[in-house]
Amino acid sequence: MKIIQTTKLTKAFDGFIALKDFDLTVEEGTIYGLIGPNGAGKTTAIRTMLGLLLPTSGTATILGTPLKNIKKVIHHIGYMPQDLSLATELTIFENILFFGRLYGMKKRDIQTRTEELLKLVELEKFGDRLIEACSGGMRRRASLACSLVHDPPLLFLDEPTVGVDPDLRASFWQYFRELTEKQGKTIVLTTHYLTESEQCDIIGLLKDGMLAREGAPRDLKMEIPNGRALKVRAPNMVAIIIKEVQDELGLYSQADGDFAVIKFTGDFDITRILEIVQRHTQTYGMELIEPTMDEVFSHFTSSKGTTKVAANQKEFHE
Amino acid sequence: MEFSWHRVLAIMKKNLTALKRDRRTIGLIVFLPIMMMLVFGYAFGTDVRNVRVIICNLDNKSISSKGYTLLSGDNRVYLMENVTTVAEGLDKVHSPGLLSGAWALIVFPVNFTMSFTTPPLKPVELYVDGSNPQIVAAVVGAVTSMLVNLSGNVKPLYNVTYKYGNKDYRPVDNMAPGILGFTVMIFMLLLSIVFNVRERLSGMAERMNATPTRRMEVVLGNLLGYSLIAVLQTSLLLLIVKLLFNVAIVGDILYVFLMLFIFAINVLSLGLFLSAFAKNEQQAFQFIPLIIIPSVLLSGFVFPIDGFPDWLKPVSYILPMTYIIIILRKNMLAGLGLESVWLEFLVLVGMTVLFLLLAAVVYNRQKR
């Protein structure tokens, strides 16, 4: 079931196009990651889909409701903005209570829910702490808890893991997976941590306000020409292996000391490479190298299709 | 590192460049002083003028007619109406509001003209609303000049009767309603504008917009919260005014409290509306002098509106402060309630509803 569908959604600010012809389909029970550097249009896309920004053109349907009527289904949506967006003079618990009340929840239900949420975001000991006394990471966690208080079927999370330490990030992702796989919820999130974007079911690569490409991370990796590589350790045999692999399989390879690095595309049958290796040695080591998400992003967003990371995109690499 | 003029100049240039791009601040820097100078000039530069008075000429002979002509040529008073009986005139003596009202009734007694030739001289009767000593002085001044002119060196003879107030009213009694209104205004404006802008800048307002919360709910929620502070502040103010300065409150202190509370809601709504137009806290602060200065100078708080030139008067009547001052003065100094200020009250409430609706319309509106 399609939870979100946008058609040529465009948002311009004073002539600057922040989002252009944005076509997005998000299926129920998936994590959809919008990936891109700062200014790519990730936040604009989320705010437009939430009805916080009026689209310049295009249409969208959210939870089966046209975007212009989004208030009718907004109680089924959780939103964690990129900014702090919490009342700093209130405690973590009071903030969660406040948002629960805005969603029409009863105080007793919120209290029960708060206990679960504080445990999830590892803040169970800090419920009474004022937001202004919390660290950046704690604030992000409290903000996530506020967006989950009403247990919504659809979640928009704008950079949910920024400023959160790696261990907790891992547990966030585990929870996101649990929400989608076990509870059938749908999550649309943005991140500029490319490595963690691999945990999304589908990623959309945004550049200059346009969706350059979307797909499952693994599928996108498969599509990169010569993106995958088999690194074979075969001392003294590297040159001959490289030559035969090139002659017989037409694969591009290169030597790296005692290693032959043989590049191939997608689901190429690597047993064919191993047959050649085994002709020359039975004692070899090997490692399958997958393209990084950096390379995936660069490939699909650079105009030349090169796998080299562009200098201006480095800032959003982890 | 040593002191460097390069750095000083760099900082100066940075500030001027930022200012150059902030048109609103430039507008404020240019517009406000012009407005202030104009108002101060008109208000301070002249004495009280055009005080509305009613004439009752029971004599209708040559000297009283001459007196009438003299008064109509005196710019301190404005002869708004002639009545035939004292009772009819007295009805209309209460500090003027929107609809009617005169500050004083001047009565030429029967046989006034004859008493110039057959003494004893009959005194002119003056019935005044004495809530503003400045105004009383202007009316008395105009009558004295007229009598001196009519009778030559004879000591001018007149009786003053205070319909409201008395000659013991101090300037502070007349100023107190304005001071109350002003204090409520400045703090409620600060509260609503600054807090609201802060809420928007923190992203909290937008986040609330992504919940089922309606804009009117946010506006009313904010308003009710702040109005509790207004209740507290108003109570404190009244206590100080009464206990510390023993200001005259002829009317009902509860009525004064209620009216001030309504005024606080009015100002809070105005603040909520205006805050939508401020991009940051600095711009939010700029609204405060923009509202406060005209409210102090043009509302009748310091200078009587009657003294302003006609082109400036409409500005007075779009200020909520003008209405609260009329309402409070009539009650605190003359003991008059809603029956005498129902129109002013309706205007104040109407403005409040208007500001509230406007605030809800513009509050964190969907960005285009």
Classify residue A281: in a domain, yes or no.
yes
For residue B203, list chain A residues with Cβ-Cβ distance below 8 A. 81-85
Classify residue A314: in a domain, yes or no.
no
Q: Going by DSSP bridges, is the β-strand pair A186-191/A154-158 parallel, antiparallel, or unpaired? A: parallel
Q: What CATH number should be reported for the domain holding residue A252?
A: 3.30.70.260
Q: Which of A53, A75, A83 sits opposite B366 (nearest CB)?
A: A53
Helix (H) or strand (E) holding B295: helix B281-298
Give burial (CB, 10 Å; 0-12/13-18/19+) of A217. Answer: buried
**Same-domain check for residues A142 and A51:** yes
Classify residue A276: in a domain, yes or no.
yes
Do residue A102 and residue B203 have CB atoms under 8 angstroms apart? no
The rounded distance, in Å, linking the Cα atoms of A119 and A134 is 16
Q: What CATH number should be reported for the domain holding residue A92?
A: 3.40.50.300
**Same-domain check for residues A107 and A245:** no
**Same-domain check for residues A19 and A121:** yes
Q: Closest-CA residue in chain B for A46?
A: B210
Most A-contacting residue of B194, B198, B204, B279 (CB-CB within 10 A), to test interface:
B204
For residue A104, list chain B residues with Cβ-Cβ distance below 8 A. 212
**Tens-binned pLDDT, residue by residue, of chain B (368 aa):** 777 787 888 888 777 777 777 777 777 777 766 776 776 666 555 567 788 899 998 888 888 888 899 888 988 888 888 888 888 888 888 777 766 678 899 999 988 888 888 878 888 899 988 877 788 888 898 988 888 888 776 677 888 888 877 777 777 777 888 888 988 898 888 888 888 888 888 888 889 989 988 888 888 888 888 888 888 888 888 888 888 777 778 888 899 999 999 999 999 999 989 888 887 877 788 888 888 888 988 888 887 787 777 788 888 899 999 999 999 988 888 888 888 888 999 999 999 999 989 988 887 665 66
Q: Which of B203, B204, B211 sits opposite A74 (nearest CB)?
A: B211
Do residue A79 and residue B207 have CB atoms under 8 angstroms apart? yes
DSSP B252: -
Do residue B204 and residue A86 have CB atoms under 8 angstroms apart? yes
Q: Which of B203, B211, B367 sits opposite A103 (nearest CB)?
A: B211
**Same-domain check for residues A113 and A248:** no
**b/e sequence A291-314, b meaning 16+ C-beta within 10 Å:** bbbbbbbbbbbbeeeebebeeebe
**Same-domain check for residues A251 and A208:** no
**Same-domain check for residues A157 and A21:** yes
The per-residue pLDDT for B42 is 66
pLDDT in tens, A9-38: 999 988 889 999 999 999 999 999 999 888
For residue B211, list chain A residues with Cβ-Cβ distance below 8 A. 74-75, 99, 102-103
Last residue of a domain, one of A167, A201, A221: A221
**Does the reported pTM lie above 0.80?**
no
**Same-domain check for residues A257 and A201:** no
Question: How many structural domains does chain A have?
Answer: 2
pLDDT in tens, B89-128: 888 887 777 666 788 999 999 888 888 888 788 888 999 8
Classify residue A232: in a domain, yes or no.
yes
Q: Closest-CA residue in chain A for B198?
A: A87
Which sign, positive or negative, has the C-alpha torsion B273, B279, B280, B286? negative
Classify residue A90: in a domain, yes or no.
yes
The rounded distance, in Å, linking the Cα atoms of A169 and B160 is 85
Classify residue A231: in a domain, yes or no.
yes
The tokens for A74 are 């907004």
Check: complex ipTM more than 0.85: no
- With an 8 Å Cβ cutoff, the interface of chain B facing chain A consists of 202-204, 206-213, 366-368
Domain of residue A281, residue span: 225-289
Q: Closest-CA residue in chain B for A105?
A: B212
Do residue B212 and residue A103 have CB atoms under 8 angstroms apart? yes
Last residue of a domain, one of A193, A221, A249: A221
Last residue of a domain, one of A183, A206, A221: A221
> Closest Cα of chain A to B364: distance in Å?
9
Are B214 and A97 spatial neighbours (Cβ–Cβ below 8 Å)? no
Classify residue A312: in a domain, yes or no.
no
> Closest Cα of chain A to B363: distance in Å?
12
Classify residue A317: in a domain, yes or no.
no
**Same-domain check for residues A203 and A59:** yes
Do residue B202 and residue A85 have CB atoms under 8 angstroms apart? yes
**Same-domain check for residues A9 and A133:** yes
**Same-domain check for residues A202 and A238:** no
**Same-domain check for residues A149 and A277:** no
**Same-domain check for residues A205 and A243:** no
